[in-house]
Structure 1
């Protein structure tokens, strides 16, 4: 089996292999001759010595040599360099492992100090860098350089032992692929000779700890890989001592034990091979309470019956059964939820009947639980596949290694199926693979596939096998061309998230703090990986409360740090997300970073194009690519959303990889796009409104345009949360012209939906921004909006103060249009306060200004206010006169909200004159218009009007139903008229003899 270095924290034991093991790997004889060459053991020893000299390991050769596979050392010109204190060496190790890459100062601090970094850590980093630069100067040239973002170690590939080891392993695999297993084993021996003990010695810090585990695990994997090659090459006797020492160091590593048993058996030491199994069984039972695994047990059984298939042959002989693979990973013990998904997979399996080869693809974001679900399903079906279960990680998202090639993947699958003969031709490999599976029922789990093509090469052909695939990408092509059933995995529900917390943390602790548990689930975004990390942190400190953990997660900038396990980098939420990110093409990666700058809930394609400064079509393609990689969520409305934790990761990358000027320019482009777009929507809703200059340049790539009022109101509704967030961002960034205009232009949306509390907050931000501008006119406009909003929620005294302040500014500026609007709204507020005469006086002054200006908006608005004042002061005839002219102006100017309000007031006037039929017709017109405008406020007023008409006709059920609908709307809008609706229903109950308890729920 071909093995590559695992990622940090990928599993395996953390114990350190005996330092002398690798040094013994190069000094044994084959026990056979090779053509006219000297004994291969001698050849190997000479090659190792020559290789060590060439790479500077003997103190000669290359000028600089950095050794990491043991105590960290550096030599230059044959002289060992003084590398200083342990943390200074840890800094060098981090830079050397990432040689040629820039390592940010913050990354160095996190990697070397972790959470224990002191306040003076910045100075310590500077001191250590200075010390290393001085030490490395003996090598000549600029070895350690400063970049804009951090530091970079400039090294040749042959100047770090780890890089040399990785290069030698790649060479060994190329040689093995060519068919020379023995030579490949020799090359791996040379690689293993580089280890001098525990990698990175005892260096401090989380980075060194993670790398120490990774490199130790990789070393064992290379020992196993070399043993496989030695066994295939017939050098079984020679490999026994090395395997014996490895088993002694890692007694629970079953693959090593199996290799040792096979080497002993093939060397004629059958009793010793069986004794190894007995020793393993005693140790497993005594220390773990478990029996040896299926592979080891099957090998033991075959040895007991002297299976000819164990003889040193290149491939299984006809009639000799190959071992049955049982490679499924362990199932998560506290697996929760996914009931519907498991049922769907089982339904598909039952419907297919197992023929032809069935393909199931489970897709979803990193950390969402794809592998856990796949393993749970596979283990449920394992008995249905008597010929075995294969598991292969296709490495689609490994940041340090490329995805498995077809040849590598087929080689591993063929080995697992018992075929040890190497086929250099991929077509021959595929033919052998499909032939071996043709009459078998095998379950094949391919984890972390990167593309449909990678999977397609591994399809089993005509077979009763099941192929189960997981991927972070959408495998659309696999469904279209190959008939795969695709299951997209979403987040856990809140109930499932809480269930997971109960299982890991304990039910009593969760039930004791239910609100904190629910908030913890929310902060983790219901993402299974994040929940498990949070639960592990909580369970590791039973004396701590969930409230403390919630407090640690609440600060967004620290949340990804909190969702990190110190001794398992692979389980970090940030690391899992980074695997998906590192696989992105450059322009798409930039898109991901720029989206991380947003504080909005979602983004549409045109807005994203403005942010990126790219064409709309190109932008949409990149957004769809991010959706295909499950880094972004798309919707039918062509809007895209981040998962909260993914957004935090994208924001971190934007800060780390984009300069402050680029970030500021991108946000400015987006804010400008929104200003011009919201102006466009406002003008569509009120076509003849006299707009003022925007105060910022037009967007280079245009802005959103609207054809109908309905489309403008739909855009308002979809964008309202984003505009709220961007108002706050604009104020923070000092974009004051934008910060006051965004909420001001949202008047129609907030007025019609009744979301007045949020509008008041945003107008408050807008007023603070306007006060920082030289021109006072924006203040008057925002004060007008504040007056309207406060009046709508019954704070009429506050509204009057805002409006009078705005009137003072407008009079001083001589701005008649602005003065007109302020007077109109002051009149309306005075009406709310039952001060009708003073309100009519202000409304008439506004009306005279409107006549002078002559605009549809101004005329309809002032007449609407006068109409309403006349209705409430019991002058319906005058109200109808104003209403008729006002409706004509509102319809001419296509001013929907004013038309809706006028229709309601005209209906009131007809009602008060006793013309019930005309009143009902006007209310119905208002309802129809409100549906188009999505205007729930005036819908509620019209329903209350109809309810009154129904009551007058003694149609009490209809009256109650309409009044209740109106009340529900007004309560949801926090409208002051909700009390009027309640009073109406109480009066209706009294009139009909029903009490509150008699109403239908």
Structure 2
């Protein structure tokens, strides 16, 4: 606080008077450095673990392997709340009496156009320590010596150096001797100092919502908009990427618009073409996020800046090092170093194993806009997207699970390049890259991308069905269909229509599935491609079965099976037999259904198609059960489970466990039925199907076990348990996945 030409340093504990005098010299005004910390941050929340980590390092006697912890650092993205965390922790440490020598705070303004130098900062620190300007030596080296000697005579002091960007700003200011502590904040990882580092990320969703609500109520205790619209509040926090600076800005916008609901601001931000521009306050873009990101981007070298710009164009929420290398058209080792530079600048975050890299949503929005309107940058982005799509299409074709599940498929895949060591590695790659692969199919209209989208979309479909990402299967098959049409590729357009029909059917969009199947059939008839037509007939059979148009379904499956048989595609013909069995069973013709399933099972076994064989064993078990062959049905179901588990198809294995549970319940074996329900729940959990797992566990709890033999008579009439709910109908027969 300034009074005349004096500065008061209140709020700390000192031995002797502490005064400072502001003077104006030729080198410019000194930065503000006082013994009083800035005020506690308003509505500080959601950082309990980070506060405890800092306090553990600041506590008296804290050390590592016997060495004192002298320097702690908070690093993170601009606007992430580093200063708030440091100031809050410093207040707590001071209140605990850990720093009787006082607390000093300097904003080094490391990311401003004119950062504060150590030479300027040390003069202000000397004033704060009670040294008169007339007693300050003229030589910088002597000033630092005096500064350290002043600290050496004091009890422990906490020095907070905010917004450091360069080692030269910090190293000369570090205390020499004593139990002093230094707390730094920086957007960069301060790897040039042996620091105890706290890397700060965005707030958790609940903490972000609590922050906005506290800020609103702090201004007006009666402002209940946040509590009245919890869903809108969470949507607002998500649009802000749970970034504290963005949350502070939106809270200020809500305070300015006191009569408008939270949902109105959410709608405005969603409609904004420039989200970063909308996240500003006070009538000028200088009070927003873009200037913060501008400074960080301006500090990057040319290669780091190019990678940052291209990462903004990458699909999905994160990228692998390999994907980043493809975008840059460089080697993984070279790009890894650039990624590490971006991580040090807090512009990307590495996964725990260091193989994947994530950008904060708002940083991604900023990066995607860098170079917009510049022809050279746009050409570079277009080339990077085409390069990445070609890479994705090639690897996805090689990883497609259907390539190796039957002898026929393996023969068709012989000419394809093998890029994975085994099926497990291929599935792991698909699991890791799935969000980006799906998002990349939206690039069909980009130059040089349409053909790659066709191959990528069609190669993804089988995998997405197996992992039960049906909405995504609809998305990628639609993209593949539209891209094929744009390329004039009628053959792949027909295939995309077939895959699209199967995805729609699984989601229950049956009328659309019928239309898509007929579109595929029309294209293949026009082209004279019998194999494609047979696939379309198979799709027509499946959707007609769902619609209970059993006569149409039976005719379609028979047509498909006969056509595949003529062409020598035995595995696909087995799928037709399986379809016939499903329809015959629905019509009550269980003996005929059994014969059809036996045909399908034998062919799939001979072809080595493990998942398809497992599905047929399940269907066969249902037919045997209907015929009264309980023992044979149980054996069939158990054989199905063994094959489906081998194929890593836990969802269908769970469905078969439920069939066993219901059969055992109906045949008076409740103990075994309960175990089967529990096994179904475990399998559903393995398949990431929590709702189905919970239902299976409820069914297990409802199974009534018989009373023990010769129980002692009860002293009073027992309370009757409610009867169990009637079991649901057994799991429906399964069709084979689309080929």
TM-score normalized by structure 2?
A: 0.79
Q: Secondary structure at the match of 2:109?
A: coil
Contact 1:603 1:639 in 2 (8 A): yes
Offset of residue 349 of structure 1: 3.2
Question: 1:854 deviation in Å?
Answer: 4.2
Which digits, 9 at most, give the CA deviation of each residue in 1:460-507, with x for residues without a partner? 2331101111121223453xxx3x322222222223222222232224
Distance in 1, Cα, partners of 2:548 & 2:638 = 28
User: Structure 1's 900 and 464: CA in aligned 2 closer, same or farther, altered over 3 A?
Assistant: same
Matched with 2:456 is: 742
What residue in structure 2 maps to residue 565 of structure 1? 281
CA contact (8 A) 2:70 2:182 kept: yes
| Residues 101, 157 of structure 2: 8 Å contact kept | yes
Which stretch shows the higher mean deviation, 373-382 or 832-841?
A: 832-841
Query: Does structure 1 residue 946 correspond to structure 2 residue 663?
Result: no
Structure-to-structure mapping, 1:330-369, within 5 angstroms: 330-350=39-59, 352-353=61-62, 356=68, 358-369=70-81
Against the structure 1 CA distance between its residues 625 and 296, is the aligned structure 2 distance closer, same or farther, given a 3 Å change threshold?
Answer: closer
SS of structure 2 residue aligned to 1:463: coil
Could you say which structure has the larger radius of gyration? 1
Cα deviation 1:636-689 (Å, max 9, x = unaligned): 362222211111111222316653322222222222222222222227753627
Partner of 1:994: 723
Native 8 Å contact 1:863 1:885 kept in 2: no
> What is aligned with 2:29?
none
Instruction: Work out whether residues 657 and 679 of structure 2, in 8 Å CA contact, stay in contact via their aligned partners in 1.
Output: yes
Alignment of 1:921 with 2:616, yes or no, is: no
848-857 vs 756-765, which deviates more?
A: 848-857
CA contact (8 A) 1:963 1:984 kept: no
1:444 match: 159
Q: Structure 1's 918 and 432: CA in aligned 2 closer, same or farther, altered over 3 A? A: same
Give the 5 Å matches for 1:541-620.
541-555=257-271, 557-566=273-282, 571-620=287-336
Indicate if the aligned counterparts of 2:401 and 2:427 stay in contact, CA closer than 8 A. no
Offset, 1:253: 4.4
- Confirm or deny that 1:876 pairs with 2:558: no
- Paired residues for 1:856-875 under 5 Å: 858=572, 861-862=575-576, 864-865=578-579, 873-874=589-590, 875=593
Contact 2:34/2:104 (8 A) holds in 1: yes
- 1:840 Cα deviation from its structure 2 partner: 5.0
Does the residue aligned with 2:202 lie in a helix, a strand or coil?
A: coil
1:670 aligns with 2:388: yes
Shift of 1:805: 2.8
> Are the equivalent residues in 2 in contact too, given 1:989–1:996 (CA < 8 A)?
no
Closer, same or farther in 2 for the Cα pair 1:918/1:535, shift >3 Å?
A: same
- Residues in 2 aligned to 1:890 and 1:714: alpha-carbon distance in whole angstroms: 22
Query: Aligned partners of 2:151, 2:402: CA distance in 1, in Å?
Result: 65
Matches within 5 A, 1:765-784: 765-784=479-498
Structure 2 matches for 1:274-423, cutoff 5 A? Answer: 293-294=9-10, 326-350=35-59, 352-353=61-62, 356=68, 358-382=70-94, 383-398=97-112, 400-401=113-114, 407-410=119-122, 412-414=124-126, 416-418=128-130, 420-422=135-137
Count of residue correspondences: 674
Whole-Å Cα distance in 2 between the matches of residues 998 and 414 of structure 1? Answer: 81
What is aligned with 1:890?
Answer: 608
The CA deviation at 1:832 is 3.9
Quote the offset at 1:863 in angstroms: 5.2
Note the 1:499-578 alignment, pairs <5 A: 499-506=210-217, 507-555=223-271, 557-566=273-282, 571-578=287-294
Question: 1:357–1:749: structure 2 CA closer, same or farther, 3 Å change rule?
Answer: closer
1:883 deviates by 0.3
- Matched with 2:733 is none
Partner of 1:654: helix, strand, or coil?
Answer: coil
- Partner SS state of residue 772, structure 1: helix
CA pair 430-855 structure 1, distance change in 2 beyond 3 A:
farther
| The one of 897, 904, 923 aligned to 2:618 | 904
1:799-851 alpha-carbon deviations (Å, 9 max, x no partner): 33322331232233222332332233333444445566654554454444444
Per-residue CA deviations over 1:904-957 (Å, capped at 9, x if unaligned) read 335546656442563253133134225x3xx34423322223323433344342
- Which residue is equivalent to 1:679? 397
Distance apart, 1:860 and its partner CA: 5.4
Shift of the alpha carbon at 1:785? Answer: 0.7
Unpaired stretches in structure 2, ≥5 consecutive residues = 24-32, 218-222, 707-720, 729-739
Deviation string for 1:605-659 (max 9, x for gaps)?
Answer: 2222222222222222212221222111221362222211111111222316653
List per-residue Cα deviations over 1:120-173 (Å, max 9, x = no partner): xxxxxxxxxxxxxxxxxxxxxxxxxxxxxxxxxxxxxxxxxxxxxxxxxxxxxx
CA distance in 2, matches of 1:359, 1:393: 16
Per the normalisation by structure 1, the TM-score is 0.60
User: For residues 296 and 910 of structure 1, do their structure 2 counterparts lie closer, same or farther at Cα, with a shift above 3 Å needed?
Assistant: closer
User: Relative to structure 1, is the Cα distance of residues 295 and 341 closer, same or farther in structure 2, using a 3 angstrom cutoff?
Assistant: closer
**CA 1:774–1:995 in 2, change beyond 3 Å: closer, same or farther?**
same
Q: 1:710 to 1:571 in 2, by over 3 A?
A: same
Alignment partners' CA distance in 2, 1:795 and 1:515: 29
Task: Tell me if the contact between 1:356 and 1:463 (Cα under 8 Å) persists in the aligned partners.
Answer: no
Is residue 2:368 matched to residue 1:646? no
Matches within 5 A, 1:655-666: 655=372, 659-666=377-384
Q: Distance in 1 between matches of 2:552 and 2:607?
A: 25
CA, structure 1 residues 301+783, in 2 after alignment: closer, same or farther (shift >3 Å)? closer
Find the aligned partners of 1:882 and 1:971 in 2 and give their Cα distance.
Answer: 29
RMSD: 4.2
Q: 1:847 to 1:499 in 2, by over 3 A?
A: closer
Does the residue aligned with 1:474 lie in a helix, a strand or coil?
Answer: coil
Q: 1:655 to 1:880 in 2, by over 3 A?
A: same
Partner of 2:735: none
Per the alignment, in what secondary structure is the counterpart of residue 372 of structure 2?
Answer: helix
> Is 2:12–2:36's contact at 8 Å kept on the other side of the alignment?
no
Structure 1 pair 549–805 and aligned structure 2 pair: CA distance change class (3 A): closer
CA offsets 1:260-295 (integer angstroms, 9 cap, x no match): xxxxxxxxxxxxxxxxxxxxxxxxxxxxxxxx6539
Q: Within 2, Cα distance between the matches of 1:716 and 1:936?
A: 17
For the 8 Å contact 1:937–1:970, the answer to whether it is kept is: yes
Distance 1:837-1:540 versus aligned 2 partners, 3 A rule: closer
Judged with a 3 Å threshold, the aligned counterparts in structure 2 of structure 1 residues 859 and 678 are, in CA distance, closer, same or farther, namely same
* 1:79-228 mapped onto 2 (5 Å cutoff): none
1:978-1000: CA deviation from partner (whole Å, max 9, x where unpaired) = 99x9999999789996345999x
Work out which of the residue numbers 770, 779, 787 in structure 1 matches 2:501. Answer: 787
Compute the displacement of 1:587 (Å).
0.8
Q: Which residue of 2 aligns with 1:187?
A: none
Q: Give 1:387 shift.
A: 2.3
Q: 1:514 to 1:854 in 2, by over 3 A?
A: same
Secondary structure, aligned partner of 1:337: coil
Partner of 1:631: 347
